């Protein structure tokens, strides 16, 4: 007979078997449901396409812009007429239920086959409720929060008639001269991948046809962030090993997360423009990565291939289609050229069918064939800028702000401090929502000044403008052509503004200078060769510093700036990016200590432009810097170190890290090492800390970076509290693409680092054994 422990053992085995059987059945059912769903979609589309003429199929590949925004150099013409003639598959820049309904009516009531349109838009960091610019959001290192911002944006966008967003922008960027660094997550492939995944989840949920989800569009595929000299749209030339290890991971992460669409980029890659790049779009994206969604180009990217010098308009249309492009954004070369190219047997009907099928599948997945008006509801307006979204925007702003310097704990300010708020951005609203803020209404943003009025306990302050945002008339003209609304003070000369500010500053205990870029100085077509504060603002800051009063600099900008003088001479520096609709309340709460800053940089801040590109995950070289050896890798006039490294940010409290303990120092495939550190909050404030894990592969068949981020944890510690945190490292974490582009690990010695930024880390050694 069985004793009770044997009985329990058998019961256990029996239960396990039942659970395994249930899981297998569920998986099988899921696969069956999935396949039958796909079959239903295939049948539907095959049937629909059997009724379509070649022209109607080509019409589906056309993506013009119509409506409220102009986001490129060429305007689409007669879009309504083209919709009527079945020559449009999707549009962008139209939103609001009424405007969308009007166009959808034409598509489903006035065309032969009544195929609905998709409505796309640049919803980049929020739709109406604007969150911090993506570079700021990334600085929160709070991927759950970032997911919620994408979710909120999808809610608002769908309540406003949209079903397709041109986001996330996941281009890795190592050059802060490039204005579009503001739109991405920074320089790191690991962090960039985590964020890309969360954004897709936030936008798309797990059901594209739900009323409040949108189709995401991963952009700009690919390597757009590696433009030479940081000049927008410029050439990209890169080794495959660098692409695979450093630049492609975030796109891949977004595809693996189920992104519904991809946007091909403007740049060339190793001599072949991305939108004509069959290797990129078909071999890599479709075949290697198994992408089954829609591929659209960026704005007139096909036409621009004539300028790239790869063919005339017919040839570039042919190249793009055959490379794997499904939709032509604004350029209309598919519309113009494909019919003739088919007649000439240069383009096959099969290639057009394939592209058309991808477009129709996207519509099917969005549920538009069931209900073309499903995103067109006038009842959902209360979801737009609702209290919960504004609260999320404030949280995101707080978490994104990075405290770069806090000498003698000058921040937070005491309630009775007499403060002089100086600078053109103190009262400004126009710039708070940053670039690519789409439908966001800057008038609804709350300035620092307005937020101060809502704080009755802080009344001891004064204000002076100090300078115009930009005095340089040429730059101002360029920016104002794109709605920067930079005004020159008509009542005072620049010198009078400055003199007055100095008088006001001298009467205070502390000066808070609010300075930075105009929003249009970052974003698309906004590269800069000098990335400091505008000259007139710099002059003001120096005059304020010369008063001898302590100065706190609050920065608003869309890229890492060069701040060498500021770091040496200013007491406190708070990087607030363009923090969105709730910028003012978030900044003032940080100033007065109601929120303890916890953001950390996700892009290196250089000392000067000459150091660019500068990024933490660089290679060691054969002659790494050695102060005692002339013949090592360095500059004569500036150190190799950045001003602020990747992963850096201070807090009102201070965190100390214990040494690392490893549960073992040999790692075998299939096993893991656990690295533990104890972190103590030994300051006077509760706060969040981001603990970062890096590794270094010391010997490999190709050279490896001096550090690579492999994990991070955002933890909350009360003052005086300590917590032990643990990171697991597996063989998988140590894999990389080798010289044959094989994803592999190589046995040998490794270093592991844990710390509060990419420079100040504790370290430990271990071996990978195969």
Q: Which residues contact 740 (CB under 8 A, 6 or more apart)?
A: none
Q: Which of 278, 333, 329, 343 is nearest to 300 (CA)?
A: 329
Quick one: tokens of 429?
């609203």
What minimum distance in Å lies between the beta carbon of 184 and ligand BGC?
11
Q: Which is nearer to ligand BGC, 359 or 420 (CB)?
A: 359
Give the residue carrying structure tokens 């019919």.
339
Q: Which is nearer to ligand BGC, 71 or 492 (CB)?
A: 71
Q: Which is nearer to ligand BGC, 56 or 122 (CB)?
A: 122
What minimum distance in Å lies between the beta carbon of 258 and ligand BGC?
20
| Residue number closest to ligand BGC, CB atom | 71
What minimum distance in Å lies between the beta carbon of 329 and ligand BGC?
7
524 in contact with ligand BGC (CB under 6 A): yes
298 in contact with ligand BGC (CB under 6 A): yes
Q: Which is nearer to ligand BGC, 260 or 642 (CB)?
A: 260
- Asked if residue 186 lies in contact with residue 603, where contact means CB atoms within 8 angstroms, the answer is yes
608 in contact with ligand BGC (CB under 6 A): no
Specify whether 298 is catalytic. Answer: yes
Q: Which is nearer to ligand BGC, 298 or 589 (CB)?
A: 298
DSSP code string of 16-57: HHHHHHHHHHHHHHHHHHHHHHHHHHHHHHHHHHHT--HHHH
Q: Which of 188, 169, 236, 237 is nearest to 615 (CA)?
A: 188
528 in contact with ligand BGC (CB under 6 A): no
What minimum distance in Å lies between the beta carbon of 275 and ligand BGC?
12
Q: Which is nearer to ligand BGC, 219 or 252 (CB)?
A: 219
What minimum distance in Å lies between the beta carbon of 445 and ligand BGC?
22
Residue of 160, 171, 175, 298 marked active site: 298
CA–CA separation, 213 and 162 (whole Å): 9
Q: Which is nearer to ligand BGC, 221 or 421 (CB)?
A: 221
Q: x/- string (CB under 6 A) for ligand BGC, residues 54-83?
A: -----------------xx-----------
Which stretch of DSSP H or E encloses residue 760? none
SS3 letters for 621-639? CCCCCCCCCCCCCCCCCCC
Q: Which of 706, 710, 763 is nearest to 735 (CA)?
A: 710
Binder of ligand BGC out of 141, 299, 648, 688 (CB under 6 A): 299
Longest pairwise C-alpha distance within the chain = 102
Give the CA dihedral 259, 707, 186, 273, nearest 10 degrees.
-60
CA–CA separation, 429 and 558 (whole Å): 15
SS3 letters for 438-490? CCCCHHHCCCHHHHHHCCCCCCCEEEECCCCCCCCHHHHHHHHCCCCCCCCCC
Beta bridge partners of 675: 662, 727
Contact set for ligand BGC, span 653-712 (CB under 6 A): none
Rg value, the chain, Cα: 28
Q: Which residues contact 651 (CB under 8 A, 6 or more apart)?
A: 403, 596, 597, 598, 683, 685, 687, 688, 689
Q: Which residues contact 568 (CB under 8 A, 6 or more apart)?
A: none
Q: How many residues does the chain have?
A: 770
Which stretch of DSSP H or E encloses residue 219? strand 215-221
What minimum distance in Å lies between the beta carbon of 122 and ligand BGC?
5
Q: How distant is the alpha carbon of residue 183 from its chain centre?
A: 5
What minimum distance in Å lies between the beta carbon of 219 and ligand BGC?
6
Give the residue carrying structure tokens 């009842």.
379
Q: Which is nearer to ligand BGC, 244 or 436 (CB)?
A: 436
**Kind of pairing between the strands at 748-755 and 419-422:** unpaired
What minimum distance in Å lies between the beta carbon of 402 and ligand BGC?
25
166 in contact with ligand BGC (CB under 6 A): yes
Q: x/- string (CB under 6 A) for ligand BGC, residues 194-233?
A: -------------------------x--------------
- Cβ atoms within 10 Å, residue 54: 15
What minimum distance in Å lies between the beta carbon of 438 and ligand BGC?
9
178 in contact with ligand BGC (CB under 6 A): no
Give the CA dihedral 380, 382, 384, 389, nearest 10 degrees.
-120
Question: How many residues of this chain bind ligand BGC (CB under 6 A)?
Answer: 8
Q: Which is nearer to ligand BGC, 71 or 270 (CB)?
A: 71
Contact set for ligand BGC, span 112-131 (CB under 6 A): 122
251 in contact with ligand BGC (CB under 6 A): no
Q: Which is nearer to ligand BGC, 219 or 696 (CB)?
A: 219
Planar angle of CA 437, 440, 442, nearest 5 degrees:
100
CA–CA separation, 204 and 183 (whole Å): 19
What minimum distance in Å lies between the beta carbon of 527 and ligand BGC?
13
Catalytic residues: 298
> What residue ranges bind ligand BGC (CB under 6 A)?
71-72, 122, 166, 219, 298-299, 524
């Amino acid at each position: 007979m069985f004793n009770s422990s044997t009985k329990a053992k058998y019961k256990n085995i029996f239960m396990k078997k039942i659970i395994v059987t249930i899981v297998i059945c569920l998986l099988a059912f899921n696969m069956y449901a999935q396949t039958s769903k796909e079959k239903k979609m295939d049948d539907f589309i095959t049937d629909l396409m059997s009724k379509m003429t070649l022209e109607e199929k080509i019409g589906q590949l056309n993506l013009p812009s119509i409506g409220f925004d102009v986001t490129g150099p060429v305007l689409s013409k007669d879009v309504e007429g083209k919709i009527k003639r079945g020559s449009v598959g999707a549009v962008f820049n139209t939103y609001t239920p009424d405007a969308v309904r009007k166009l959808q009516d034409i598509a489903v009531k006035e065309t032969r086959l009544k195929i609905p349109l998709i409505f796309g838009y640049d919803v980049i960091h929020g739709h109406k409720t604007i969150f911090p610019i993506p570079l700021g959001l990334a600085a929160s290192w709070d991927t759950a929060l970032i997911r919620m911002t994408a979710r909120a944006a999808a809610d608002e966008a769908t309540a406003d008639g949209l079903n397709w967003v041109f986001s996330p922008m996941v281009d890795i960027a190592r050059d802060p001269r490039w204005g579009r660094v503001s739109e991405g997550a920074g320089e790191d492939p690991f962090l960039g991948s985590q964020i890309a995944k969360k954004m897709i989840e936030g936008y798309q949920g797990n059901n594209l046809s739900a009323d409040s989800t949108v189709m995401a569009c991963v952009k700009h595929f690919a390597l757009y962030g590696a433009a030479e000299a940081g000049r927008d749209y410029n050439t990209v030339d890169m080794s495959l090993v660098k692409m695979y290890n450093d630049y492609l991971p975030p796109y891949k992460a977004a595809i693996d997360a189920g992104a519904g669409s991809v946007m091909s980029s403007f740049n060339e890659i190793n001599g072949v423009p991305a939108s004509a790049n069959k290797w990129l779009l078909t071999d890599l994206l479709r075949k290697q990565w198994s992408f089954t969604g829609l591929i659209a180009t960026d704005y007139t990217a096909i036409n621009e291939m004539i300028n790239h010098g790869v063919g005339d308009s017919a040839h570039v249309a042919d190249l793009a289609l055959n490379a794997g492009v499904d939709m032509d954004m604004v350029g209309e070369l598919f519309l113009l050229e494909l019919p003739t190219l088919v007649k000439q047997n240069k383009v096959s009907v099969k290639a057009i069918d394939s592209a058309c099928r991808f477009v129709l599948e996207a519509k099917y997945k969005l549920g538009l064939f069931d209900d073309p008006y499903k995103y067109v509801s006038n009842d959902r307006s209360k979801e737009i800028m609702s209290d919960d979204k504004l609260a999320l925007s404030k949280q995101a702003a707080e978490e994104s702000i990075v405290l770069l310097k806090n000498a003698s704990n000058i921040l937070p300010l005491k309630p009775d401090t007499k403060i002089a708020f100086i600078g053109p951005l103190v009262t400004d609203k126009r710039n708070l929502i940053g670039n690519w803020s789409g439908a966001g209404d800057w008038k609804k943003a709350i300035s620092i000044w307005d937020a101060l009025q809502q704080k009755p306990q802080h009344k001891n302050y004064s204000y002076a403008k100090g300078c115009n945002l930009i005095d340089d008339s040429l730059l101002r003209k360029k920016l104002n052509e794109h709605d920067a609304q930079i005004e020159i003070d008509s009542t005072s000369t620049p010198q009078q503004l400055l003199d007055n500010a100095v008088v006001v500053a001298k009467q205070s205990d502390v000066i808070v200078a609010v300075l930075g870029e105009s929003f249009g100085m970052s974003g698309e077509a906004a590269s800069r060769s000098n990335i400091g504060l505008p000259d007139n603002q710099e002059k003001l800051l120096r005059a304020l510093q010369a008063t001898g009063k302590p100065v706190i600099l609050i920065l608003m900008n869309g890229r890492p700036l060069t701040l060498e003088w500021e770091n040496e001479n200013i007491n406190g520096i708070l990087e607030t990016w363009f923090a969105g609709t709730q910028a003012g309340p978030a900044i003032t709460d940080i100033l007065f200590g109601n929120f303890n800053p916890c953001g950390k940089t996700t892009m290196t801040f250089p000392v000067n432009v000459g150091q660019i590109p500068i990024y933490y995950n660089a290679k060691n070289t054969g002659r790494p810097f050695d102060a005692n050896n002339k013949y090592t890798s360095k500059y004569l006039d500036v150190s190799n170190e950045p001003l602020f490294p990747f992963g850096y940010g201070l807090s009102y409290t201070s965190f100390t890290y214990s040494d690392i303990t490893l549960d073992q120092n040999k790692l075998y495939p299939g096993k893991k090492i656990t690295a533990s550190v104890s972190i103590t909050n030994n300051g006077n404030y509760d706060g969040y800390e981001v603990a970062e894990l890096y590794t270094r592969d010391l010997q490999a068949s190709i050279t490896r970076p001096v550090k690579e981020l492999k994990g991070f944890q955002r933890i909350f510690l009360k003052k005086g509290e300590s917590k032990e945190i643990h990171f697991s490292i597996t063989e998988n974490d140590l894999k990389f693409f080798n010289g044959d582009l094989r994803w592999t690990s190589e046995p040998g010695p490794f270093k592991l680092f844990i710390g509060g930024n990419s420079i100040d880390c504790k370290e430990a050694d271990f071996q990978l054994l195969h």
